[in-house]
Amino acid sequence: MALLMAVSQIGETLNKIEFDTIEHLGLEEARKGAYETRNFIVHDYDGVDLYLIEKVIVGYLPELKSKLESYSV
């Protein structure tokens, strides 16, 4: 359950970052996907496919982390 909440928080946080910053980092699709994943977790908790969440964590989060870490204010 904690992983689901963490993934949903990532989607919520990315949605709050200014669009210019998201665009600069090339994260438009990642932002959209993260927020859609967040909505699915929050609104359909019992129906969450944990295999899909695992794919998100293993397949997408490392690249997202790398791009965000490369950004300097």
Distance from C-alpha of 43 to C-alpha of 22, rounded to nearest angstrom: 25
pLDDT tens per residue, range 2-42: 899 999 999 999 999 999 999 999 999 999 999 999 999 99
Distance from C-alpha of 26 to C-alpha of 42, rounded to nearest angstrom: 26
Sketch the domain layout of the chain as residue ranges. 2-70
* Distance spanning both ends of the chain, measured CA to CA: 33
Tokens of 4: 């689901």
pLDDT tens per residue, range 38-63: 999 999 867 898 999 999 999 999 99
38 and 10 Cβ atoms separated by less than 8 Å: yes
Calculate the CA 56 to chain-centre distance.
8
Tokens of 52: 């899909």
